[in-house]
Structure 1
Amino acid sequence: MENTFTHALPNKSGYFGEYGGSYIPEQLQAIMQEITDAYDEAILDSTYLSELADLYSGYVGRPSPIFYAKRLSQKYGRGIYLKREDLNHTGAHKINHCLGEALLAKRMGKKKIIAETGAGQHGVALATAAALLGLECDIYMGEVDIAKEYPNVIRMKILGARVIPASHGRKTLKEAVDAAFEAYLKDPVTQLYAIGSVVGPHPFPRMVRDFQTVIGNEAREQMAELTGQLPDHIVACVGGGSNAIGIFSAFLNDIKVELHGVEPAGRSLTEPGEHAATMAKGKPGVMHGFKSYMLQTEDGEPQDVYSVASGLDYPSVGPQHSYLKDIERVNYDTISDEEAIEAFFEISRLEGIIPAIESAHAIAYALKSKRLRGNILINLSGRGDKDIDFVVENYGEKYGIE
């Protein structure tokens, strides 16, 4: 497991090329350095690493399996494999870094962990980790997402977390991050902000990436065992980008393996505020303490964003993704709401797997892109239990659900 934490980037200042860093108030810099130092010590501590590894296997259920989607493969004329992160405890990849962050908070003597959440999967995973380790937990969530992802709200409350609505702006993920940062600034000493993706000031893009590389490390061995070779293509959805960087990391040096990150084109890729396609339409900017590609207004403020998938509607992206775009190692493309929902039903009815709408963006791209040939590995980052009510209410009639 120690190899999971060994990477050339970011540098000591938290930069992936020109992206990343720590653009935060001076009073927080010492706190960030404390977190960095604690993390650097933890990943050299065999006790910490063993406890995390034991939780991954005995609590989360890792390794998550890879499933050959035979019926999809036959219909679309390509070999489609699914990395089943939806089978993890709590139903998504988020538990991987939440356990790592919660263990670190406990090690640092923190009393509370706080976080933002969009689709609710990070919130559920963090509430789960908090309950397991005896920590208090506050989850900030946009009012729109609270209504849209209500099953996950209930799960968080059952687990003992406080769910605090973000009621300003568009009342979605960006606003939840704003609210969580404000709460953290009020007390960075007794609580740890467990950021939910590979975003935020250094060291969080590095930390969350490291915890998520368990996905790619497993997948590399599993695909070699299943097929005798590495996949030709790997596809993952990208909002902040944690599930994608987690599976991409183990294959970055394998140039013959093409990597594809899929962003939400929403209702319209050409109209500002109707998509969250940061890579396709953004430019470098600073928000939430880090520099990365960002959807922004003419005066440099974060642009309004939208996606049918609550976990993807964020106006920036992890800084390592921006670096990988610039060096052309990863191909970033987009999928619309309608294409994602069509893929949601396609995999449900052909393979008996109901995916998260976020993951359905990756599935849609793998099914429709003409550039993909050979074996394709999709990171099925989460399950769709949380989305069922919303999908039936908005798309049920079209797909024959009365």
Structure 2
Amino acid sequence: MRNLLPWREPVPPDGTMGEPRARGRFGEYGGRYAPESLVEACREVDAAFREAWADPGFRGALARLLAVHAGRPTPLTPARRLSEALGVELYLKREDLTHTGSHKINNVLGQALLATRMGRRRLIAETGAGQHGVATATAAALLGLEATVFMGERDIERQSLNVFRMRMLGAEVVPVTTGSRTLKDATSEAMRHWVGATGDSHYCIGSVVGPDPYPWMVREFQRVIGDEARGQCAAELRTGVPDHVVACVGGGSNAAGTFAGFADTPARLVGVEAEGGAGAARGRLGVLHGCRSLFLQDDDGQITQAHSIAPGLDYPGVGPEHAHLRDLGRARYVTVTDDEAISAAVRLARTEGIVPALESAHALAWVIRAADGGDLPAGSTVLMTLSGRGDKDVSTLKELL
């Protein structure tokens, strides 16, 4: 099984996690597999992003928003009691402490600023756990934009708090009743809607998926996580660089942003997927939502339904750069069950006073399992991105505990 491959030596600093090759390629993955009506829109986003990212004024405006509105930098918190129990030194990068409660705000503020620069008046978004939808609604309210968020009917039921937050912020929440009624179908509906709205709307994709330039652009907006953590680790850790860098992976934006800060170091990168949504660990080459990557498929090549108790991991694939990192051996992708994630969430709450999002709890579950099983040697230093807080999952946990 791919998720049980042994460690390989990290690749040298050769430009890994730099700009993709021509046509948005990360090795054999990526690209721009979009309907003709969206190809030109993607080109416009690409040109606008390149221009903006090279503009110190744009970068400065985004940095100010991240500081005064989102609350950056986020702290690096030592998990002292849990570390002692596990025999490792575990540090948490606290994206749960950002405004709106997750890493999603980093990317959305960047894309919302880009949208205003392009003269767009409305943001279109998809959401699973609801955190990207809340972040999109927040940024739209802040910058005077409209927001339309597509969300699977099943996710609306299990994330009712975030649905209320989006609507309170002024966003239109559109239920998606097709297919599995989760993140995959919400993404499909959002892209279909964008086809008829490219003139006045910007599609604010929430993860490192979709047609070029989105996987690269979203990773760059999330790179702030890894860059901050790199500096904090240099100041706080006895080793300067952690032995392992761990993050949960659905589409993979918080992991991509975290990994980007450590790609040129000896740190071992670990992406943790849901057992029922393991695109990197068990996926096969295919095309979905505008890019070529690894997806769960049946023998006929049809995309199969993913499952996770964490709505943000309930996606049948993985971003193309993660697929490339897996092939390079630069990152390892492993899986965690629902029960392991729930147990990890409870353990963090009771040892450190932190209730994590169920997505983040998957990453912690692997750290616990690996420490107990010897895959993390005693004394190892581990940086784990705590991508979101658990308020949104309290109803789910209440029913199960």
After TM superposition, the score normalised by the length of structure 2 is 0.93
Asked whether the 8 Å contact 2:176–2:185 carries over to 1, the reply is yes
| Paired position in structure 1 for 2:158 | 148
- Once the two structures are superposed, the pairs formed by residues 165-180 of structure 1 within 5 Å of their partners are 165-180=175-190
The CA deviation at 1:85 is 0.3
| 1:122 is the counterpart of 2:122 | no
Question: Match for residue 24 of structure 2?
Answer: 14
Looking at structure 1, the residues matched to 153 and 42 of structure 2 have their Cα atoms a distance apart, in angstroms, of: 29
Residue 251 (structure 2) pairs with residue 251 (structure 1):
no
Question: Which residue in the other structure is 2:89 paired with?
Answer: 79
2:37 touches 2:195 (CA, 8 Å); kept in 1?
no
CA distance in 1, matches of 2:88, 2:58: 42
* Cα distance in 1 for residues equivalent to 2:35 and 2:91: 45
Q: Answer whether contact 2:129 2:159 (CA < 8 A) is retained.
A: yes
Q: Distance in 2 between matches of 1:81 and 1:24?
A: 40
Task: State the alpha-carbon separation in 2 of the partners of residues 107 and 8 from structure 1.
Answer: 24
1:287 aligns with 2:298: no
Q: Which residue of 2 aligns with 1:334?
A: 335
Percent identity of equivalent pairs:
51
Pair 389,7 (structure 1): closer, same or farther in 2 beyond 3 Å: closer
| Residue identity matched to 2:389 | R
SS of residue in 1 equivalent to 2:308: coil
* TM-score normalised according to structure 1 size: 0.93
SS of 1:231's equivalent? coil
Structure 2 equivalent of residue 376 of structure 1:
382
Say which SS state the counterpart of residue 97 (structure 1) adopts. Answer: helix
Question: Which deviates more from structure 2 when the two are superposed, residues 369-378 or residues 236-245?
Answer: 369-378
> Residue 195 of structure 2 aligns with which residue?
185
SS in 1 for 2:394: helix
Tell me, what secondary structure is at the counterpart of 1:261? strand
The aligned counterpart of 1:323 is: 324
User: How far has the Cα of 1:299 moved from its partner?
Assistant: 2.0
| Match in the other structure for 1:65 | 75
Over residues 66-120 of structure 1, what are the superposed CA-to-partner deviations in whole Å (9 max), with x where a residue is unaligned?
0000000111111110000000000000000000000000010011101100000
Partners of 1:114 and 1:192 within 8 A in 2: yes
Return 76-85 or 23-32, whichever deviates more. 23-32
Greater RCO (CA < 8 Å, at least 6 residues apart):
2
Contact 1:340–1:360 (8 Å) recurs in 2: yes
Does the residue aligned with 2:93 lie in a helix, a strand or coil?
strand
* 1:259-295 superposed Cα distances (whole Å, 9 cap, x missing partner): 1000001xxxxxxxxx111122211100111000111
1:49 aligns with 2:67: no
Moved over 2 A (4+): 6-9
Q: CA deviation at 1:9?
A: 3.0
Matched, 1:106 2:82: no
Deviation at 1:187, TM superposition (A): 1.4
| 2:365 match | 364
Task: Answer whether contact 2:17 2:263 (CA < 8 A) is retained.
Answer: no
Between the aligned partners of 1:116 and 1:25, the Cα distance in structure 2 is 18
Aligned partner of 1:90 in structure 2 is 100
Structure 2: how far apart are the matches of 1:61 and 1:188? 32
The Cα shift of 1:8 comes to 3.1
For residue 181 of structure 1, what is the amino acid of its counterpart?
A: M
Equivalent position SS for 2:69: helix
* Contact 1:9–1:15 (8 Å) recurs in 2: no
**1:227 shift after superposition:** 1.6
Partners of 2:187 and 2:18 lie apart in 1 by: 28
Contact 1:20-1:201 within 8 A present in 2 as well: yes
Question: 2:395 matched to 1:389?
Answer: yes
Alignment partner for residue 23 of structure 1, among 30, 33, 49? Answer: 33
Q: Unaligned regions of 5+ residues in structure 1, if any?
A: 1-5, 266-274, 397-402
